[in-house]
Amino acid sequence: MKKTWRWIIFLACVVLSILSLVLFFVGFPLLLFFLIFPPIIFFGDSNKSTKKQVSSYCMICGSRIQERDNFCSNCGEKIEREER
């Protein structure tokens, strides 16, 4: 009777050791995945949410103009856009 309990305890230890190794090699990378990527999944990519403001400069006076501007706010020159 004592030998069967020893075998049961021994097999339980072996099974738990194998299970812990499997969980370490499979679960640990999975845990890292969920620790790293939820901010991206839940909060989105910050580059997509912010609208890029392309600024360029007036060819006449050199002041900064925004993408939406049709005229220079400094000298009043009409801004000609290059098609990309």
Per residue in 67-82, pLDDT tens?
A: 888 888 899 988 887 6
Three-class DSSP category at 71: strand
Owner of token pair 């290059």: 82
Average pLDDT (13-27) is 82
pTM of the entire predicted model: 0.34
What's the pLDDT band for 45 if we cut at 50, 70, 90?
low
pLDDT above 90: percentage of residues in the chain: 4
d(CA 26, CA 58): 57
User: Bridge-partner residues for 55, per DSSP?
Assistant: 66
pLDDT tens column, 46-69: 555 455 555 688 888 988 888 888
